[in-house]
């Protein structure tokens, strides 16, 4: 009878050791998971602020260009071809369509890409070397 009790005691000790390991594993996992949620939210917030600022800065640059070009057109309408004037108007419409108060709108990147394209077309049509320095140029982008 004593050997049975001693055997049960040893089994209980091993079982409690296994349970202890499992308990610590679960506690560590839960603690890491909760920390990850908090850290992930803060990191996402920081990335969102940075990205939002960059989009706002670029959008402001394009708005300024459009305003200057419209002023120049009023002074000298013949200095801008009909095609360039059409691109400027399209660029203004894209700026106005930009979802400023809905950053989760799926069109954000599409509109920015369209604005960049229109800007390059206008720049080429005017024959100027105007650039927005806030985002990487195609040669600087790493794949």
pLDDT tens digits, one per residue of 61-71: 999 999 999 99
The structural domain count of the chain equals 1
Under the banding of pLDDT at 50, 70 and 90, the label for residue 10 is low
- On whether residue 138 sits in a domain, the answer given is no
- For residue 123, pLDDT over 60 is answered with yes
- On whether residue 81 sits in a domain, the answer given is yes
- On whether residue 84 sits in a domain, the answer given is yes
Residue 51: predicted pLDDT: 79
pTM above 0.75, yes or no: no
- On whether residue 131 sits in a domain, the answer given is no
- On whether residue 77 sits in a domain, the answer given is yes
pLDDT tens digits, one per residue of 16-43: 666 777 787 788 888 888 878 777 878 8
- Mean pLDDT for the chain overall: 81
- On whether residue 64 sits in a domain, the answer given is yes
Question: Pick from 55, 59, 66, 123: which is nearest to 89 by CA?
Answer: 66
- On whether residue 133 sits in a domain, the answer given is no
Contacts 24+ apart (CB under 8 A), 131-138: 132/58, 132/61, 132/62, 134/54, 134/57, 134/58, 134/61, 135/54, 135/58
- On whether residue 33 sits in a domain, the answer given is no
| Domain extent at residue 97 | 54-126
- For residue 143, pLDDT over 60 is answered with no
């Amino acid at each position: 009878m004593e050997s049975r009790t001693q055997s049960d005691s040893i089994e209980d000790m091993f079982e409690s050791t296994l349970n202890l390991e499992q308990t610590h594993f679960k506690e560590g996992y839960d603690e890491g998971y909760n920390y990850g949620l908090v850290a992930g939210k803060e990191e996402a917030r920081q990335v969102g602020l940075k990205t939002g600022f960059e989009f706002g800065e670029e959008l402001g640059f394009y708005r300024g260009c459009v305003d200057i070009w419209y002023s120049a057109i009023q002074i000298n309408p013949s200095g801008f071809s009909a095609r360039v004037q059409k691109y400027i108007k399209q660029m203004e419409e894209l700026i106005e369509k930009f979802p400023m108060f809905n950053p989760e709108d799926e069109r954000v990147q599409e509109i920015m890409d369209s604005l960049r394209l229109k800007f390059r077309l206008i720049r080429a049509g005017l024959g100027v070397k105007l650039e927005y320095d806030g985002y990487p140029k195609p040669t600087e982008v790493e794949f």
